[in-house]
């Protein structure tokens, strides 16, 4: 079945189609705490960027990476189509806005590059749950029920809300989601959305994934 039709699910209206779903992997951070490129860290024997691309590709019309201009010729990234961050150092919200500028009629399934426990079922559940009639479909953190903005589908209407936030000095996409119409999805596991930002966290994540693969 066409994943875009599946994404529309019970929300489909006769004679209409949802905006096309594109994938965006956020790789433009400077990884200051990790001290190496988080997108290219090896999990399960492959760069994480390659793994995330493989998760998005079956569900999205096209998949792009968000990157800084100086990253254009950086190793593994040359294999993927970039959308360069045109907003400077304002964090993930700049990458998302830059994607909307490039393709304003698309919806964007956004993934952070520092979530090693994401898997195919997690992405499939998010896509299947998609409601194009709200600003975003996103996972909710199990511990506090806050929306996770970096594993989420942003509909085209999200652009204006994100732009307004930036103009007001708010660079937090989570804060925007907290004050917008969203569909929250509960992840199957509490660790699915865990982020890895330090060498110690990276080593621990590698150990946990190895244990998971052995079980």
Q: Kindly give the pairing relationship between strand 136-140 and strand 147-154.
A: antiparallel
Place of tokens 């860290």: 41
By C-alpha distance, which of 43, 152, 33 is closest to 93? 152
| Predicted pLDDT at 44 | 79
Q: Is residue 67 part of a domain?
A: yes
| Calpha distance 147→184 (Å, rounded) | 7
Residue 6 domain flag: no
CA-closest candidate to residue 68, choices 81, 82, 56, 80: 82
Confidence at residue 89, expressed as pLDDT on a 0 to 100 scale: 81
Domain limits at 36? 19-214
In a domain, 11, yes or no: no
- Token look-up 């304002």 returns 90
Question: Is 102 a domain residue?
Answer: yes
Q: Is residue 4 part of a domain?
A: no
Q: What pTM did the predictor assign?
A: 0.89
Residue 5 placed within a domain: no
For residue 73, what pLDDT is reported?
67
Q: What sign results for the dihedral spanned by CA atoms 180, 182, 185, 187?
A: negative
Predicted confidence pLDDT, tens digits, the chain (215 residues): 223 333 333 344 444 789 999 999 998 776 677 878 888 899 978 899 999 999 999 999 999 999 887 776 667 778 889 999 888 788 899 999 999 999 999 999 999 999 999 999 999 999 999 999 999 999 998 877 899 999 999 999 999 999 999 999 999 999 999 999 999 999 988 889 999 989 999 899 999 998 888 77
pLDDT value of residue 72: 65
What is the model's pLDDT at position 74? 63
- Domains: count for the chain: 1
CATH of the domain at 117: 3.90.550.10
Residue 99 within any structural domain of the chain: yes
**Which pLDDT value is given to residue 12?**
44
Answer whether residue 1 is part of any domain: no
């Amino acid at each position: 079945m066409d994943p875009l039709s599946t994404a529309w699910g019970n929300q489909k209206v006769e004679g209409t189609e949802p905006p096309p779903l594109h994938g965006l992997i956020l790789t433009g951070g400077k990884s200051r705490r990790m001290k190496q490129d988080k997108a290219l860290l090896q999990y399960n024997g492959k760069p994480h960027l390659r793994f995330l691309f493989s998760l998005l590709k079956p569900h999205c019309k096209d998949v792009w990476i968000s990157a800084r201009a100086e990253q254009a010729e950086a190793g593994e990234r040359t294999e993927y189509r970039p959308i360069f961050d045109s907003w400077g150092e304002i964090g993930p919200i700049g990458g998302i806005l830059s994607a909307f500028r490039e393709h304003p009629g698309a919806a964007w399934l956004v993934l952070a590059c520092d979530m090693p426990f994401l898997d195919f079922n997690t992405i499939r559940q998010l896509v299947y749950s998609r409601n194009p009639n709200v600003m975003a479909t996103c996972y909710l953190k199990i511990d506090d029920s806050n929306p996770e903005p970096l594993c989420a589908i942003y509909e085209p209407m999200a652009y204006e809300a994100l732009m307004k936030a930036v103009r007001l000095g708010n660079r937090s996409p989570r804060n925007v989601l907290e004050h917008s119409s969203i569909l929250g999805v509960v992840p199957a596991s509490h660790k699915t959305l865990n982020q890895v930002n330090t060498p110690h966290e990276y080593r621990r994540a590698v150990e946990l994934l190895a244990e998971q693969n052995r079980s």
